[in-house]
A and B are shown apart, each in its own frame.
Chain A
Amino acid sequence: MAKETGIKSWKELNFGIAITTPGNAAELKTGDWRSMRPETDREKCTKCGQCYIFCPDMVYSKDAEGYYVQNYYWCKGCGICAKECPVDAITMIQEVD
């Protein structure tokens, strides 16, 4: 919403309100939407990458050891990763706060 990033004046707009800051949607904390969040048990994880490729919100990224790590800023808690994990390494936990 404009109020989130504060467009104030019509004079600030590009032609056709074109947006020249690629990917700035990433500023929105879609993580606020969730009521459950996924947590990975590293003992079970085989680093197969299914959670990574099945996440509609690009939440997963590989860490230095090759494990896929969640970015909770964006995670909407849909649970696809937990359902699809072939070794059941991911569990959906109730958000408490």
Chain B
Amino acid sequence: MSKPIGIEVSLAVAEAVGLCDVDVVAAYPITPQTHIVEHLSELVADGHLDADFVPVESEHTAMSACIGSSASGARTFTSTCSQGYALMSELCYIASALRLPIVMAVANRALSAPINIWNDHADLMYARDTGWIQLLSENGQEAVDMSILAFRIGEDPRVSFPVQVNLDGFTMSHVIEPIGIPDRKEIAKFLPPYRPKLRLDPEHPVTIGPVGMPDVYTEARKAQDEAFKATKPLIQEIFNAFAKQFGRQYKLVETYKTEDADTIIVAMGCVVQTAMTAVDNMRAKGKKVGIAHIRVFRPFPAAELIQAIKGAKNLILFDRVTSFAGGEISGPVAIEIKSALFDRKLSPKVGNFLVGLGGRDVTEQNLEEMVERVASAKNGDLPAYEFINVRE
């Protein structure tokens, strides 16, 4: 593998996508994803990447063109976030239902209004029901690795689903980190060419996207659901193959110092890195805290997550988006975790905190306060969720 170099994460992601030899990139600029698509168009312009770069006139067209391209049999990539994601969202459902392995890098950003170009998970949560595989990265190396993995996972004929690679906008996309980018030969060894069975080909005419009346729609959804369920073990299998070749082992849920923890923080994305430092500080003070961090949010790895957290008396659950459910139930990630706990008859003390909205920093201090809050609260006293670090 190439020696790690100091490189901006967005550029590294673009380099990795370029080395994956994509055929078509159809993308529209939106802060903070811009550096990814800019660098990809540079790679094409300088002849480093042989691809058709389609500078579309909106994100809706970006995903439409990606669908047309992927359905024709081309390896296809795009990138967006926030408002752009919202605009293309109707098509994301379609891309998954048509089983097209489009890869999309999302530089997670808050949704308007107010307009805010900084990082939170609004667009990640927006995508929950679309049927895309959602991968999380916590640092630049992971963002690069997830980008390469995304093509291999999506294009595996047993999977055939589109894949979303999430990297936190600005907090990850725009920082310079030491990243080892595998070279073209290594990636080619890991990533076989994309040769779908079903494609738009005059030699074998197919009709894609017919009308699904009530007598077939349920079956169509069941087929998609069963296939999506089946992706979970395949994702881990491919993570293992990646580890074998590149030496970095990823799991659906990863843990940090959870073995004897009585309080576990559950989080995803780069906030986990801050949490790790906070946990080290707290451990030094004798507190038994650990982190279960989710790497694959869809399909939701309930079994693996419960395995990681079942020993905890206290759980700190992060949500990085507001969901306006009316205040009586928790935020989106928390309700998924609570649902998994309930199904297994587990009831630890749970604190759900809305953190890092619209680029608000999450500090080690915040983390220590949250741990203290949950530890000292009586069972049943904690609200469904609470904002932290808000000026009253």
Contacts and interface: CB of A to CB of B under 8 A. Distances in A.
Interface in A1-58: 1-3, 7, 9-11, 13-20, 22
Nearest to A3: B215
Contacts of A13: 216, 219-220, 223
Nearest to B227: A15
Given A10-B222, A10-B223, A11-B223, A17 B206 contact: no
B220 A18 contact: no
Interface in B74-93: none
Given A15-B99, A15-B198, A16-B98, A10 B219 contact: yes
Given A10-B220, A10-B222, A22-B207, A16 B215 contact: no
A18 B212 contact: no
A27 to B, nearest CB: 14
A54 B252 CA distance: 60
B98 A15 contact: yes
A10 B212 CA distance: 13
B386 to A, nearest CB: 42
Interface residues on A, range: 10 to 19
Interface residues of B, number: 22
Contacts of B222: 10
B208 A16 contact: yes
B198 A7 contact: no
Contacts of A10: 218-220, 222-223, 226
Contacts of A16: 97-99, 208-209, 220
Interface string B188-220: 000000000010000011111110110110111
Given A9-B219, A10-B222, A22-B207, A17 B212 contact: yes
15 contacts: A3-B215, A11-B223, A13-B219, A15-B99, A16-B98, A16-B208, A16-B209, A17-B212, A17-B216, A18-B206, A18-B210, A19-B210, A20-B198, A20-B207, A22-B207
Interface of B: 97-99, 160, 198, 204-210, 212-213, 215-216, 218-220, 222-223, 226
Enumerate the 3 nearest inter-chain pairs by beta-carbon distance, A residue then B residue, closest first: A15-B99, A16-B98, A10-B219
Given A18-B207, A22-B206, 18 more contacts: A2-B216, A3-B215, A7-B219, A9-B219, A10-B218, A11-B223, A13-B216, A13-B219, A15-B160, A16-B97, A16-B98, A17-B220, A18-B198, A18-B209, A19-B206, A19-B210, A20-B207, A22-B205
